[in-house]
Amino acid sequence: MRLQFVLTEVLSGLRRNLSMVVSVVLVTFVSLTFVGAAALLQAQVDKLKGDWYDLVEVSVFLCPEGSTAPTCAEGETTPEQVDELEQVIDTELADVVEETYFESKADAFEAFTELYPDGYQGTQLTEGDMQASFRLKLDDPEQYQVVDDVLEGRAGVEVVEDQRAVFEPLFQALGRASMLAAGLAGVMLLAAVLLITTTIRLSAVSRRRETGIMRLVGASNLFVQLPFMLEGAIAALVGALLAVGGLWLAVQYLVMDWLQDSVDWVAYVDVGDVLAVAPLLIGIAVLLAVVSSVVTLNRYTRV
């Protein structure tokens, strides 16, 4: 009997404040979409880092003929200097470097001709135009600075380059987009809290007579407040489910069906990531609704 009464009150409250309930649903939907987008952007950054950081290498370019670098004052790197550098890598950097590959001029020219069989931008290069280098795969890509400290400035080394620098601008852009989405989500969540609070207050004020009768017959605070709490929770839950559905559609059709077909060498977020974020969005929605309801109802319906 009590359950039936609570459900009846909830339905009655939703009908009476339909416009406000719709507003709560829409604002919750928009705000949680931003929350989910921020979480998915961060997941995308983690995927890219996980895939690309394992592939990137540190390139140690040796002195070519005519280089103006101070370490190349004696001219092109000699075989003796190459052997010395290889020994340094095998000893001083043994704990950092997982794999070492020496690319001679001939190797570099072969790779170049495979990549640009007709020359680079109409220019035909020769083996003598190539630059020898060491390619170092690190156990931990974050240890680049250790390699740079050991090899930078040694005779025969023109420059030490970390290939991660190529990807850092992309990671930074995605990270900033994630922070922007999180900031917008915070503003929208505040708006959702205010709307939920207003909706519950209006509902409580419009049903003062019913709550007064319930006080007279000895109803507990929880029993009086439960219908109002459920109204807010239902509206927020519907908004959360709409946000999950919107994110699922965006990932399915924009990312998996479009981006992945266009650029298939990048690991993208998928619907599994959306489903992983869904409990978080639903939990935030229900928590906001319950907290907002309790704070409001303690003032307007307390026995």
* Span 160-181, average pLDDT: 74
Is the pLDDT at 248 greater than 90, yes or no?
yes
Is the pLDDT at 253 greater than 80, yes or no?
yes
* Span 161-181, average pLDDT: 73
What's the pLDDT score for residue 95? 86
Residues 6+ apart with CB under 8 A from 69: 63, 158, 159
- CA dist 117 → 124, 125, 127, 238 (Å): 9, 11, 14, 58
- Give the amino acid at 144: Y
CA–CA dist 254, 256 (Å, integer): 6
CA–CA dist 93, 140 (Å, integer): 12
- Give the amino acid at 42: Q
What's the pLDDT score for residue 46? 78
What's the pLDDT score for residue 241? 93
Q: Are 97 and 136 in contact (CB under 8 A)?
A: yes
* pLDDT per residue as tens digits for the range 276-285: 999 999 998 8
pLDDT top residue among 114 and 249: 249
Percent of the chain predicted with pLDDT > 70: 72
Torsion sign across C-alpha atoms 18, 24, 26, 28: negative
CA–CA dist 179, 175 (Å, integer): 6
What's the pLDDT score for residue 121? 62
Q: Are 196 and 253 in contact (CB under 8 A)?
A: no
Q: Are 47 and 268 in contact (CB under 8 A)?
A: yes
Retrieve residue 300's tokens. 């307007």
Residue with tokens 């092109």: 76
HEC profile for 92-161? CCCCCEEEEEEECHHHHHHHHHHHCCCCECCECCCHHHCCCEEEEEECCHHHHHHHHHHHCCCCCEEEEE
Retrieve residue 195's tokens. 């709307």
What's the pLDDT score for residue 205? 65
pTM for the full model?
0.60
* pLDDT per residue as tens digits for the range 63-87: 888 888 888 888 888 889 889 988 9
Backbone torsions φ then ψ of 150, nearest 5 degrees: -80, -40
- The full set of domains in the chain, from first to last, is 2-52+168-300 (no CATH), 58-162 (3.30.70.3040)
What's the pLDDT score for residue 1? 42
What's the pLDDT score for residue 5? 46
pLDDT top residue among 60 and 224: 60
Q: DSSP readout, 223-284?
A: HHHHHHHHHHHHHHHHHHHHHHHHHHHIIIIIIIIIIHHH-TTS----HHHHHHHHHHHHHH
Confidence grade of residue 246 (pLDDT, cut at 50, 70, 90): very high
- Give the amino acid at 278: A
* pLDDT per residue as tens digits for the range 187-239: 877 877 777 777 777 666 665 655 555 555 555 555 556 666 777 778 888 88
Residues 6+ apart with CB under 8 A from 28: 192, 235, 236, 238, 239, 240, 243, 285, 288
Residue with tokens 């929605």: 285
Confidence grade of residue 264 (pLDDT, cut at 50, 70, 90): low
Residues 6+ apart with CB under 8 A from 303: 215, 219, 220, 221, 224
CA–CA dist 271, 273 (Å, integer): 5
Residue with tokens 């991660």: 164
